[in-house]
Chain A
Amino acid sequence: MLPTASSAPGQPETAGDRDGRLGVRLADVGVVYDTKDGDSVEAVRSASGHIADGRFVSLIGPSGCGKSTLLDVVGGLLAPRSGTVTIDGEPVTGPRRDTAMVFQEDSTLHWRTVLSNVAFGLEIAGVGRKQREAAAGDIVALVGLTGFEHRHPRELSGGMKQRVAIARALVADPRILLMDEPFGALDQQTRMFMGRELLRVWDETRKSVVFVTHDIQEAVYLSDEVWVMSARPSEFTAKVVVDLDRPRGPGTMSSRRFHDLTSQVWEVLRVESEKALDAQRELEP
């Protein structure tokens, strides 16, 4: 019997508690955006959820369901039409220093070396050359690019360019990493390898991660939770808690539990994908 203050009934939640204010909180977020033709599209209807500090959460859903849009909202690139996004209780009003984004497409600056690409965010923030290059050097080593510091992106493979993008996101030591299908443009083998590498880096840094993907296996393998989104206008239809042991490795994917979880996600996703396809068919004449 070890009575602790926080577990005592009737006690108010302490600030900084794991399921308290810390982390990303979405409350009834709705996103509408205008297309070039002047139409407005309701991308996200009502998304709510809490990504606790240090959690790895994947967003998965049918194509065009607004996963990336929602990520842009968390990253402060897009204002929601309704609802709020808060980080540690503060509403998100624009890009913040404690969030960093990684995109699907190659976002390396081709005229800069790897080191200078990684240091770019710090350069923008006004950090001196010596200091930012030292920081960038450490992160380059962390993501396994040692020896490539002075190469240019054209000399790197697609996977290595994404490592550069991840390193650039990590270098300012953000607390929250927002990843928009970061391995979506890579081939299957590189993709699986990069997933493992990401987990290794995540293990060392313990950032909160919001990871957009449409690969179920990738989502389950990486995440603590997989949030499944419905067809557009979207909301979360299921949140699957992934209780697989960490650190995860090659054995994880062959385990019984892994298969159960992926089928569970697929069951929800299949229904939503069919809805999305039907909606598309209706649009066609």
Chain B
Amino acid sequence: MSGSAVTATARAPSRRRPPPVATVRWGLVIGSVLLLEAAARIGMIDPLIMPPPSTMVVRLGEIVAGGGFLTDLTTTAAAVLSAFGLGAVGGLLIGILFWRLPFVGATFEPYLVSLYSMPTLVFYPILLALLGLGPAPIIVIATTMAMIPVALNTMVGLNSISPTLPKLARSLNCSRTQTYLKVLAPAATPLVVPGLVLGFIYAMIGVIAMEFILASEGLGFRIGYTYRAFEMQDMYAYIVFVFVIAVAANVALNAIERRVRRDME
């Protein structure tokens, strides 16, 4: 029985450890939701400003079941996916170009970086004038926003490859295609993927924000519309939906990113 005694003593200190971070995190979320619920129910929060969370969820259920929701959802999803797709391809190409031609990279990188810190959304009047009302200006702005982190991360990822790897590839007589596909691309991936993750998030932010001002359907438009119509319950229902989608996307993308980055030392 000495074996079990040893295990018992070995385990003892772990009981005194603070609760796992995940528990605290979830506790905070659940706690704040409950707090809001209580505050709204006892009248501490004006239901016109914010209904109780349970009402938001119930209302969301009704909206999802009713017509029109699917149109908004597919409109927004289509815009996000096309902006991300275009931004990813464009960003990868720009990143590769800036890496292959260091002079071009050094010249244009500051522009890209300043575009990064700039609220691209301010260009919407110009785009509106150029492209007219419709999905085009939304997608252009969201694409630009998605492209920048992809381009920068791709460039940094390729530039940070140790010069030994291309040298190795040459010493093994790798063809150009083999060098790109079997050495350079996988070596840069741990930095390219976080760029793609950011690009996706930016595409989502860009589309929804632009829909507020430039659209006649879509989730962003619907939030703005319900706000102006004083349909607070509907507005919050849509906000809850967008929030849940964004968090879910973030969790999924982070999981992918962690998996890829694990390979990096």
Contacts and interface: CB of A to CB of B under 8 A. Distances in A.
B189 to A, nearest CB: 7
B183 A109 contact: yes
Contacts of A103: 164, 167-168
A95 B167 contact: no
Contact of A121 (B164, B172, B262, B265): B172
Nearest to B179: A124
Interface in A139-189: 152-154
A124 B171 contact: no
Interface in A84-103: 94-95, 97, 100-101, 103
Given A95-B173, A106-B162, A124-B173, A101 B263 contact: no
Contacts of A94: 173
B42 interface: no
Contact of B265 (A97, A110, A124): A110
A77 B171 contact: yes
A110 B264 CA distance: 7
Interface string A235-264: 000000000000000000000000000000
A125 B169 CA distance: 12
A124 B182 contact: yes
Given A107-B165, A110-B263, A120 B172 contact: yes
Interface string A98-123: 00110101110111000000001101
A95 B169 CA distance: 10
Contact of B186 (A106, A107, A109): A109
A23 interface: no
Contacts, number: 56
Nearest to A72: B167
A121 B171 CA distance: 9
B265 A77 contact: no
Contacts of B170: 77, 95
A95 B265 contact: no
A20 B79 CA distance: 72
Nearest to A153: B265
A139 to B, nearest CB: 15
- Which of A106, A110, A125, A154: most chain B Cβ within 10 A? A110
Interface in B46-100: none
Nearest to B162: A105
Contacts of B186: 109, 111
Given A152-B263, A153-B265, A154-B263, A107 B164 contact: yes
Interface string B137-159: 00000000000000000000000
B164 A105 contact: yes
A75 B174 contact: no
Contacts of B172: 95, 120-121, 124-125
Contacts of B264: 110, 154
B171 to A, nearest CB: 4
B187 interface: yes
B167 A106 contact: no
B178 interface: yes
Nearest to B171: A101
A97 B171 CA distance: 9
A186 to B, nearest CB: 15
Contacts of A97: 173
A105 B265 CA distance: 14
A100 B171 CA distance: 7
Given A109-B186, A111-B186, A153-B265, A101 B168 contact: yes
B164 A124 contact: no
B168 A107 contact: yes
Given A103-B164, A107-B165, A109-B187, A95 B178 contact: no
A76 B167 CA distance: 11
Interface string B224-265: 000000000000000000000000000000000000001111
Given A101-B168, A120-B172, 16 more contacts: A75-B171, A77-B167, A95-B172, A103-B167, A103-B168, A106-B164, A107-B162, A107-B165, A109-B183, A110-B265, A111-B263, A124-B173, A124-B174, A124-B182, A154-B263, A154-B264
13 contacts: A76-B171, A95-B170, A95-B172, A95-B173, A101-B167, A106-B164, A107-B165, A107-B168, A109-B165, A109-B183, A124-B178, A154-B264, A154-B265
Interface of A: 75-77, 94-95, 97, 100-101, 103, 105-107, 109-111, 120-121, 123-125, 152-154
Interface of B: 162, 164-165, 167-168, 170-174, 178, 182-183, 186-187, 189, 262-265
The 8 lowest CB-CB distance pairs between A and B, nearest first, are A101-B171, A105-B164, A111-B186, A107-B164, A121-B172, A107-B168, A103-B164, A95-B171
